[in-house]
Every structure is written in C-alpha cells, then in structure tokens.
C-alpha cells in the first residue's frame, strides 16, 4: 500500500571535514529541508516553495528539488502526477549542503509515492544531477551523507563508490553559519589544478588518520588530523573573521575546526555536548566581535539515519 | 641486569601499500636482517658484516647499521664499547625496507646493551638518520613498522607522528623480489613536484578507504583501494614485467597488487595463506616468463611485533 502523500526531512551535512576535500562528509540533525509531496491525477510535477530565504530558485526547472523530482518521474513514468511543496529553511550558499538537502528531500518524497520505488542508495545518481545543477559539479560529499546518514567517504566518482564509515557516538559537531554567502562555484575556482606532491602526501595522511580517529573516537588523533593544507589556506580568506573564529573554537576546547564544505559556515568537533555548546557560543561571539557578522550556531551529534520520511498518509 | 651480548632481528616492510606514498607501511615476518652485538672494554664501535649480497657498504661510516649504532653510542656515552656483526641477508635496493631493517636491528641491539636504554619508539629518530644516509631522505614508512610492527601511518614528519593502525589477521601479504635493482633515490626523482588536484583527491580517498578496509578485513574495499594514481604509473616502467606480474597476481585472486616501496619488489594482498601461495607462484612465474627475471617470493601474515630480541646473554 503506497502513500498518497508524504513528508520528508533531509539534514544538513558537513563536507570535507578539514583535509578530506571532495571525499568526506557527515550528516548532522539540524538544520534541514522539508518536502511535502502528494499524488495528483494531472501528470508531471507541480511545484511550489515556502521560504523566507533569499536566493532560492522558484522556477521548476532551476530549483534542485523540482529538478531531481522531475528526473525521477521521467525515469519511472508513474500513472499519476506529483504535487510538491519545498519548505526551504536552509540558507543557500551556506556550506551546509543546502542544495543536497533539497534534492534529497525531494527525491525521497517522490520515490516514496512510486509503486516500484528505488532503493535509497539508487537515488544517489539522480541527486547528484541536482548537485550538478546547483554547484556546477556532481559532488557527492554532501549528497551521500544527507541521503544515507553517518560519515561517508566518496572513494570514487567514476564509478560512483560511496563508503560509509563509523563515527564514535561521543563526538559532537558544531556548525556556525555566518550571515554572508560563498558560492560553491567560486570557492572551487579559487583552488589550483595542481598542488605540490608534499602537500598532497600530508593531506592523504591526515584524511586516513581522521577516518581512524573518528571511528575510534580518538580525540588526540582527531586533533592532529583536522588539518587542511590544500583548500583552507585559500578559502579562509573568503570568510571574514575565519582565523579568529577558528582560534576561538580551539581555545574553547574544539578537537578541530575548519571550513564546512566551501564555506562560509565553519565547523568544529567536540568531545561532549556541553563542550560543544561552549564552542558554538565562542564561535558566534567571535564572528560578531572580529568581523561584525551575525551568525547562527548548530550543535548536533552525528545523524546516523540521513534523510527520513516524517509521515505518510493514505494508501 | 643488562645483557653482555644480544641478537636482534628486524623484518622486511612493505611501504606505500599502493596509494599511501610516503605514509603507509606494514611489517612482515621475512626476510629480515640480524645483528649480534656485545659489550667490549674498548670504547666506540667495532663493526663487521656477514653477507653474500652485493652492494652492502662495509665501511663503518657508510653502513646504516654501524651509523645508527654510533649515533646511539654518541648520545648515551656508555662506559663500554660495542662489537657488532650485521648478518645482512636482505637484498639492497629491493623495495623491502632493507636499509630500515639494518638500522633497526642495529639500534635495538645497541639499545639493549645500554644501562639506561631508550624506549622502542624513541629509537625512531636515530633510525631515520640511517634512512637519510641510505636513501637521501629520512622517510619513516619502512622504519616505523619495522621497529614497531603492524601497520603504521606516518601522519607527519614535522613533528614526527606515527599512527599505528590495525590490520585484520586474516590478511596475508605476498612480496616478490625480482633480481634487479631500483635505487630509492632514482625512484624518488622520477616523481613530479606537483600533481593534479584531481589525482590527489582520488589518492586520499583511496588511502582512507584502504586503512578502513585493512582494519575491517573488508576484501571488496581493499580491492578497490589498492590503486595508486600518483607513483605507480611512473615507477612501473622501472620494473621489467611489472604490468604482467600485476595482472597475474590479480588473476590468481589477489585483493590488490602494486609496487613495494620504490620497487622493484612487487607486493600483493590475499585473503588466505593458501591463496597467497598461489599468487606468489603466479607472480614469480610471470617475472620469469614475461621479463626473463628470476625472483624470490615471500608470503607472510602481518608481523605485529616488529623488531625483536632473539636472545640475550650475560648480565
């Protein structure tokens, strides 16, 4: 018995995690995007957006939620149409995987209405097309953990190879989103096409150490491995106050601190919820004092479920 | 009660493990180098080498064993001298960590004679000076696993940060040493100073996936992650028959196959001892048929102990 209507939630994600540019991502609990979708007799997709955020595309061909949903509908040719409302609460260009969250929420909702739905993992290629539309490249380091939950290593894009990895449940994530925008496309073009072999070696040692440290909850190891010698030095200058915010996070006891995705959000890792709240407060305060920027902080354990169906109705 | 004489054994090591250039290494059980050392009344070091191998430096200032032992003696100024015999059974320039094995066997032997010895881990900086003498750079990806055993991630050289990592005990290593020499210095200079960011990203994803796969004994993951897009494509041409040998190893069921260290030895990973023997036989046969080169194969589980004291006598 398939539902006639469904509500889905897809969470924010922190990608890169310091050294793991384009390869590591983790899902957190909030913020996130919500989609409500229902079957309708008229074929194709009806789409509307509820949001107070600037910069959200309202055009059915340009919003990633409607774009990805349309791809699924065109693939499965259901005997019904879909009416979809995207409740877009995540800020655009935040470095929190905003586009992935919309794509994933829409894909999971549309899929839930289908008579013969895809498996969750098989939705990923459609969602990556949403990422391509939004960011110019089909990067999976937000999309995969947003869909699947937990930590994800994107081992390869050709063929797509997503490797889930465990994250010790004691660890707590902090993300602070300053009220300023960095476009993923711009943050990507700032990176060079070639990097020194010595930097690459240091980076892959840190990536390997970080996945070990996160799995074991090894705080000392995490502390040493959240070090990005490739992207952070170039991207930090796009985020007003970054250096001070990072210093404040570490001074408040963060195990590590770096840019979330392509920024401007900044993430940190803490060894307890109480410590995470102190770190988040120090970071938002520093954005205000050092760069005169208002910011919003989120504190969350790892979201091990990923996108979920909030409710389903009818049959 | 300190011994008057001691015999030590330091094992061969496989470094890089495919993608982990300069960062990953693992100790195996054989081959290895042996040192016998005893206290003597005359101060300083007396040194001799027993070997049938070509290319082993006999000069006390040029052999890494005597060089590292002298560094230790100069650091600790013992009231006695040391008479040392290096039984050099490992081939020079093999890609099996031959210089590290000699350095480690000598360091552990000399240290065992001291009244106030160093901890095992504190010997590493001295051993790295031996690597610098032998290879032109103080690389630790052979020295650390040779000394400490198991798998080692060299997270950083400045400061030195060695992270041991677990390797599932079901896994078996194969190393085949062809009777041809590749000098580490030459194999290093063939590598470019800059590499494409895209290659670096693929490499760090593989390095992270490999340490996960080795820890979990995840055969499918290991199979995908033993992929080196940085060093192997350039170094393979230095090893006659490499492409055929690799194909033969994979056809015989190897989980992965690449160059051991800077070569010319080639390693493979197997999921059982019986399978490993078949793979080793296929690899040595292929070196003979494809490149007319005699080779010696070694099959070993992970050596989790590293260098060890074989016996100690006197007090």
Give me the phi and psi of B307, to 5 degrees please: -65, 145
B185: containing domain: 172-301
B182: pLDDT confidence band, cut at 50, 70 and 90?
A: low
What average pLDDT does the structure give for chain B?
95
Answer yes or no: do A182 and A154 share one domain. no
Answer yes or no: do B99 and B79 share one domain. yes
Answer yes or no: do B212 and B101 share one domain. no
Answer yes or no: do B130 and B178 share one domain. no
Q: Above 70 in pLDDT, residue B166?
A: yes
State pLDDT tens for residues B85-104.
999 999 988 999 999 999 99
Strand partners, A209: none
A18: pLDDT confidence band, cut at 50, 70 and 90?
A: very high
Look at residue B1 in the predicted model and tell me its pLDDT. 61
Asked whether the beta carbons of B103 and B130 are under 8 A apart, the reply is: yes
Strands (E), chain A: 5-15, 24-40, 45-51, 81-88, 151-157, 160-165, 172-178, 194-196, 256-259, 266-270, 295-301, 308-313
Tell me if residue B184 is catalytic: yes
Nearest Cα residue to A95 out of A220, A239, A284: A239
State pLDDT tens for residues B185-231.
667 788 999 999 999 999 999 999 999 999 999 999 999 999 999 99
Mutate: best of B15, B197, B222, B224, partner A, most A CBs <10 A: B197
Answer yes or no: do A131 and A244 share one domain. no
Mutate: best of B204, B210, B233, partner A, most A CBs <10 A: B204
B183: pLDDT confidence band, cut at 50, 70 and 90?
A: low
Q: Above 80 in pLDDT, residue A184?
A: no
Asked whether the beta carbons of B33 and B71 are under 8 A apart, the reply is: no
Q: Which residues on chain A are in Cβ contact (under 8 Å) with B16?
A: none
Query: Among A110, A131, A286, A302, which one carries the catalytic annotation?
Result: A131
Q: Above 70 in pLDDT, residue B167?
A: yes
State pLDDT tens for residues A192-207.
999 999 999 999 999 9
Look at residue A180 in the predicted model and tell me its pLDDT. 83
Answer yes or no: do A94 and A237 share one domain. no
Among all residues of chain A, which has the CA nearest to that of B221?
A: A163
State pLDDT tens for residues B227-242.
999 999 999 999 999 9
- What is the rounded average pLDDT of the residues A118-133? 96
CB pairs under 8 A between A and B: 111
Answer yes or no: do B16 and B143 share one domain. yes
Answer yes or no: do A12 and A133 share one domain. yes
Strands (E), A130-239: 151-157, 160-165, 172-178, 194-196
Look at residue A182 in the predicted model and tell me its pLDDT. 64
State pLDDT tens for residues B2-18.
789 999 999 999 999 99
B136: pLDDT confidence band, cut at 50, 70 and 90?
A: confident
The answer to whether the Cβ–Cβ distance between A208 and B211 falls below 8 Å is yes
A185: pLDDT confidence band, cut at 50, 70 and 90?
A: low
Q: Using a pLDDT cut of 70, give the percent of chain A over it.
A: 97
Q: Which residues on chain B are in Cβ contact (under 8 Å) with A202?
A: 156
Among all residues of chain A, which has the CA nearest to that of B165?
A: A212
Query: Among A23, A34, A70, A184, which one carries the catalytic annotation?
Result: A184
Distance from CA of A114 to the nearest CA of B (A): 32
Among partner residues B153, B192, B205, which is closest to A156 by beta-carbon distance? B205
Look at residue A253 in the predicted model and tell me its pLDDT. 98
Answer yes or no: do B158 and B195 share one domain. no
* CB-based contact, B161 to chain A, within 8 Å: yes
- What is the rounded average pLDDT of the residues A97-124? 96
Q: Above 80 in pLDDT, residue B26?
A: yes
Q: Above 80 in pLDDT, residue A188?
A: no
Answer yes or no: do B147 and B60 share one domain. yes
Look at residue B54 in the predicted model and tell me its pLDDT. 84
Tell me if residue A8 is catalytic: no
The answer to whether the Cβ–Cβ distance between B201 and A163 falls below 8 Å is no
- What is the rounded average pLDDT of the residues A61-89? 96
What average pLDDT does the structure give for chain A?
95
Q: Above 80 in pLDDT, residue B163?
A: yes
State pLDDT tens for residues A273-288.
999 999 999 999 999 9
Answer yes or no: do B20 and B133 share one domain. yes
State pLDDT tens for residues B276-303.
999 999 999 999 999 999 999 999 999 9
Domain of B282, CATH number, reads 3.30.70.890
| C-alpha distance from residue A61 to each of A5, A58, A105 (Å) | 22, 9, 17
Strand partners, A146: none
Answer yes or no: do B294 and B270 share one domain. yes
Q: Comparing A42-56, B5-19, B117-131, which segment has the lowest mean pLDDT?
A: A42-56
The answer to whether the Cβ–Cβ distance between A200 and B225 falls below 8 Å is no
Look at residue B3 in the predicted model and tell me its pLDDT. 85
Look at residue B184 in the predicted model and tell me its pLDDT. 59
* CB-based contact, A247 to chain B, within 8 Å: no
State pLDDT tens for residues A152-177.
999 998 899 999 999 999 999 999 99
CB count within 10 Å of CB B62 equals 12
Domain of B88, CATH number, reads 3.30.230.10
Total domain count, chain A: 2
| C-alpha distance from residue B47 to each of A147, B35, B102 (Å) | 64, 10, 13
């Amino acid at each position: 018995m398939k539902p006639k209507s469904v509500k889905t939630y897809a969470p924010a994600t922190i990608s890169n995690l310091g050294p793991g540019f384009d390869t590591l991502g983790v899902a957190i609990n909030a913020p996130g995007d919500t989609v409500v979708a229902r079957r309708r007799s008229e074929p194709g997709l009806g789409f509307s957006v509820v949001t107070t955020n600037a910069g959200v595309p309202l055009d059915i061909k340009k919003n990633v939620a409607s774009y990805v949903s349309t791809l699924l509908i065109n693939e499965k040719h259901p005997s019904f149409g879909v009416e979809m409302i995207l409740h877009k609460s995540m800020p655009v260009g935040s470095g929190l995987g905003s586009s992935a969250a919309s794509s994933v929420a829409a894909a999971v909702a549309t899929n839930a209405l289908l008579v013969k739905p895809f498996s969750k993992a098989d939705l990923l290629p459609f969602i990556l097309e949403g990422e391509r539309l939004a960011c110019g490249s089909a990067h999976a380091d937000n999309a995969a953990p947003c869909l699947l939950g937990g930590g994800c290593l994107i081992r390869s894009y050709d063929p797509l190879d997503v490797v889930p990895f465990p994250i010790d449940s004691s660890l707590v994530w902090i993300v602070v989103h300053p009220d300023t925008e960095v476009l993923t496309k711009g943050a990507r073009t700032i990176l060079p096409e070639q990097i020194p072999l010595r930097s690459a070696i240091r980076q892959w040692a840190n990536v390997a150490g970080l996945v070990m440290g996160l799995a074991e909850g090894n705080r000392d190891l995490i502390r040493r491995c959240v070090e990005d010698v490739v992207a952070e030095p170039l991207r930090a200058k796009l985020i007003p106050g970054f250096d001070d915010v990072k210093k404040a996070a570490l001074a408040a006891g963060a195990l590590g601190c770096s840019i979330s995705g392509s920024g401007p959000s900044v993430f940190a890792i803490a060894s307890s919820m109480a410590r995470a709240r102190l770190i988040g407060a120090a970071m938002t305060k520093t954005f205000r004092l050092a760069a005169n920027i208002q910011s919003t902080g989120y504190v969350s354990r790892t979201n091990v479920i990923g996108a979920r169906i909030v409710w389903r109705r009818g049959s």
